Structure 1
Amino acid sequence: MTTFDKREEGFEKKFALDEEQKFKAEARRNRMLGLWAAQQLGISGDAATAYAKEVVAAEFEGPGDGGVLRKIMADFAVKNVAITEQAIRARMSELAAVAIAEVKAGK
């Protein structure tokens, strides 16, 4: 194996690790966001955990954060929770930073 091959293999492994960490951080962020949204909706306990799982699953309903955002906005509209899209996006950003730090720390 040449030095070039070893270097290429190293880059591929780093890319795979980075993508795995990104996926884990997004799922963690969505779970935390789901728990926060559940609290805003007056949901607690096991029902809040179940709701958070629904929010995580909503990630796969559209590209990017669209599915998660649409789910939470729709649920807030049904329950007349007066939180704006901008406020939800801000909370997503805050929780993304927390999730990334936790994933990198191996939590």
Structure 2
Amino acid sequence: MNTFDKREEGFEKKFALDEEQKFKAEARRNRLLGLWAAEKLGITGDAATAYAKEVVAADFEEAGDNDVLHKVLRDLTAKGNAVTERDVRTKMDELLAQAVAQVKAGT
């Protein structure tokens, strides 16, 4: 194996690791978002955990995170919470930063 092949293999491994961490951070963000929304919905305990799992599962409906955004927004507004798409998107951004830090720290 020559130097070029080793560098290429190194780049491929780094890319795979980065993608794995991105996936984990987005899943954690979705779980945190689900817990945040559950609190706003008045859901606690095991029901809040179950709701957070529903939010995580919603991410597999279509590409991107609009499916998660729309699920949470739809659920919140259906229960009379005055939130906008921008409010939920802002919370998603905040929670993604938190999730990335947690994944990098291994917590």
Question: Is the pair's TM-score, using the shorter chain for normalization, greater than 0.5?
Answer: yes
Could you tell me which residue of structure 1 aligns to residue 86 of structure 2?
Answer: 86
Q: Distance in 2 between matches of 1:43 and 1:32?
A: 14
Q: Distance in 2 between matches of 1:38 and 1:91?
A: 14
Q: Distance in 2 between matches of 1:103 and 1:3?
A: 32
Q: Distance in 2 between matches of 1:17 and 1:4?
A: 20
Q: Distance in 2 between matches of 1:78 and 1:85?
A: 14
Displacement of 1:71 in angstroms is 0.6
Displacement of 1:94 in angstroms is 0.4
The share of aligned pairs that are identical, in percent, is 71
1:70 aligns with 2:70: yes
User: Aligned partner of 1:36: which letter?
Assistant: W
User: Aligned partner of 1:86: which letter?
Assistant: R
Where do 5+ consecutive residues of structure 2 fail to align? none
Displacement of 1:77 in angstroms is 2.1
User: Aligned partner of 1:82: which letter?
Assistant: A
Q: Distance in 1 between matches of 2:98 and 2:71?
A: 22
Of residues 54-63 and 21-30 in structure 1, the stretch that sits farther from structure 2 once superposed is 54-63
User: Aligned partner of 2:39: which letter?
Assistant: Q
Q: Distance in 1 between matches of 2:94 and 2:53?
A: 19
Matches within 5 A, 1:1-107: 1-107=1-107
| Count of aligned positions | 107
Of residues 81-90 and 43-52 in structure 1, the stretch that sits farther from structure 2 once superposed is 81-90
Runs of at least 4 residues off by over 4 Å: none
Displacement of 1:18 in angstroms is 0.2
Q: Distance in 2 between matches of 1:106 and 1:4?
A: 32
Displacement of 1:46 in angstroms is 0.2
User: Aligned partner of 2:96: which letter?
Assistant: A
Q: Distance in 2 between matches of 1:76 and 1:103?
A: 27
